[in-house]
Amino acid sequence: MRRIQGVNVNQHICYYISDSPEGSTAHAVACLGFSNQAKAIVRKFSCRDCKMGKLVFISLVIAALSVLFGERIISFRRRTFASRELVQNHLPNCVALKNLDHGSEDITILGDGLAFISTGLKYPGLPSSEETGKIFSLDMQDPRMKPVELRMPRNFDLESFNPHGISVYTDTSDDTIYLFVVNHPQHKSQVELFRFVEDSLSLVHLKTIKHELLYSVNDIVAVGVESFYATNDHYFTHEIFKGLVEPLLAQPWTNVVYYSPEEVKVVSEGYYFANGINISPDKRHIYVVDLFDHNVHVLKRKEDNALVSVKVINIKNIHSYQPVVTQVYADNGHVIMGSSVAATYGGKLLIGSVFHKAICCDLK
């Protein structure tokens, strides 16, 4: 068997052809010095091996990332119920409300049946219209059920008004009604504080609230004339990280913030997607919905406005015959799409949506 072998001869590499393992009949074919040609050949073979190693490493990294990405996609679809088949469960006498064709993301109702509705939300990744944001009122005691657009102040920037969650606080000392509105101008987060004038069905803008802890506000519940709890539904602020990276990572990084002119602080955290927030009738407990974890957190208010977890209500088997919670309405998108809020008053149920319409139904 003929082989090519190499030996070191006086600091040269000599290659020869051998007919035997011992090389007894070898014939030298080339001798190269270490200083120039030998180093070039060694370097050539070393670079070739290095490139092959890099290609293998990159291929393994790409394969691992592909597997991880696929698993994250499956996890995200599972969290959002993307593949479920929804069985319709309609209520009697459901009618679409007029003037609310561009969403009705949040609804809050006062004790006397006066409802406030935010509309026109433009949220990245969701359908939206060119209509500017608006606030409507609806008298639930009026059988006509006709929403009325509230007149906005002239000194307020209507062009960038992008209303999200809303909350109402009534000052018991003089019955003044304050409306808190989460606003996303240029997709930033701030809270607008208005005073409601019932006689003229108008809003007076009092102030704009901004703070570094209020960076991705979704919903809000007022607890004073200038104080509230708010949910941050994302951890990142950059749109690409918020819309792509964060949903795939699916980490419990969102939180609840307490705001007052004297103090701003994070009071609860560890949510996958902190969404809706509300307060109990006795004002002692706060309810927070974690959208992606499919549960409702019950939190007790302390004297310093901190929150302490009491329990977590897991929303399980909602489509089974024995659900933990009672389902009063379900639709597969034919009547209403992207529902975001529901509120009741006087035997009626108002259902709002992020970008579609609002409907009113009679409860059974």
Task: Please give the single-letter amino acid code of residue 63.
Answer: A
User: How far is 54 from 158, CA to CA, in rounded Å?
Assistant: 56
**Cβ atoms 258, 265 nearer than 8 A:** yes
Which residue among 12, 27, 90, 164 is the active-site one? Answer: 164
Dihedral angle computed from the Cα positions of residues 182, 183, 188 and 190, in that order, rounded to the nearest 10 degrees = -60
Q: How far is CA 286 from the centre of its chain?
A: 20
Per residue, the 3-state secondary structure of 68-97, as one string, reads: HHHHHHHHHHHHCCCCCCCCCECCCCCEEC
219: closest CA among 246, 252, 254? 254
| Six-digit token string for 175 | 């019955």
Do 94 and 123 form a contact (C-beta atoms < 8 A)?
Answer: no
Q: How far apart are the two ends of the chain, measured CA to CA in Å? A: 94
234 is catalytic: no
Contacts of 310-317 spanning 24+ positions with Cβ under 8 A: 310/285
Closest CA to 28 of 41, 37, 15: 15
Catalytic residues: 164
